[in-house]
Amino acid sequence: MKLSIISFTETGKKLSQNIGKKGKEIEIHLFSKSKTCITNEKNESILYVETSIGDWARRQMKEKNALLFIGACGIAVRAIAPYIRDKLHDSPVLVMDEKGKYVIPILSGHVGGANEMARYLAQKIGAEPVITTATDIQGKFAVDLFAKNNHLYIVNKDGIVKVSSKILAGKEITLSIEEGNNMDKKEKAHVPEGVTIAPYPPMEPVDVLVTSKEETFDASILLRPKEYVIGMGCKRGKSSVEIGDFILKKIDELGISMAQIWALSSISLKQDEQGIIEWCQKEGIPFLTYTAQELEEVQGNFKTSSFVKNKVGVDNVCERAALKACGLDGKLIYEKCSFNGMTIAIAKRKWKVRFYGE
- Ramachandran bin of 299, using left for φ above 0, alpha for ψ from -120 to 50, beta for the remaining angles: beta
Q: pLDDT-based confidence at 222, cuts 50/70/90?
A: very high
Average pLDDT over residues 280-290: 93
Q: pLDDT-based confidence at 215, cuts 50/70/90?
A: confident
The string of pLDDT tens digits covering residues 193-211 is: 899 999 999 999 999 999 9
The pLDDT of residue 183? 61
The rounded percent of the chain whose pLDDT value lies above 90 is 82
Average pLDDT over residues 177-186: 68
The string of pLDDT tens digits covering residues 322-343 is: 999 999 889 999 999 999 999 9
Whether the CB-CB separation of 295 and 317 falls below 8 Å is answered with yes
Whether the CB-CB separation of 107 and 93 falls below 8 Å is answered with yes
Q: What angle do CA 210, 213, 217 make, to 5 degrees?
A: 65
Whether the CB-CB separation of 82 and 90 falls below 8 Å is answered with no
The string of pLDDT tens digits covering residues 71-116 is: 999 999 999 999 999 888 899 999 999 999 999 999 999 999 999 9
Residue 121 has pLDDT above 80, yes or no: yes
Residue 188 has pLDDT above 90, yes or no: no
Measured CA to CA, the distance from residue 175 to residue 196 in angstroms comes to 6
Strands 66-70 and 331-339: unpaired
Residue 268 has pLDDT above 50, yes or no: yes
Average pLDDT over residues 248-268: 96
The string of pLDDT tens digits covering residues 289-327 is: 999 999 999 999 999 889 899 989 999 999 999 999 999
Whether the CB-CB separation of 12 and 37 falls below 8 Å is answered with no
Q: pLDDT-based confidence at 44, cuts 50/70/90?
A: low
The pLDDT of residue 356? 67
Average pLDDT over residues 119-124: 96
Residue 150 has pLDDT above 80, yes or no: yes
Measured CA to CA, the distance from residue 176 to residue 193 in angstroms comes to 16
Whether the CB-CB separation of 238 and 279 falls below 8 Å is answered with no
The pLDDT of residue 143? 95
Q: pLDDT-based confidence at 358, cuts 50/70/90?
A: very low
Cis preceding-peptide flag for 201 (omega within 30 of 0): yes
Q: What angle do CA 260, 264, 270 make, to 5 degrees?
A: 170
Average pLDDT over residues 266-280: 95
Measured CA to CA, the distance from residue 233 to residue 242 in angstroms comes to 13
Query: Which of these, 252, 274, 173, 251, lies nearest to 219 by C-alpha position?
Result: 173
Residue 187 has pLDDT above 90, yes or no: no
Residue 2 burial by CB count (10 A; 0-12/13-18/19+): exposed, middle or buried?
Answer: middle
Whether the CB-CB separation of 64 and 281 falls below 8 Å is answered with yes
Q: pLDDT-based confidence at 37, cuts 50/70/90?
A: low
The pLDDT of residue 181? 57
Average pLDDT over residues 158-183: 88
* CA 280 remoteness from chain centre: 10
The pLDDT of residue 266? 97
Average pLDDT over residues 258-276: 96
Alpha helices in 68-210 (DSSP H): 73-80, 114-125, 134-137, 143-149, 158-168, 185-188
Q: pLDDT-based confidence at 219, cuts 50/70/90?
A: very high
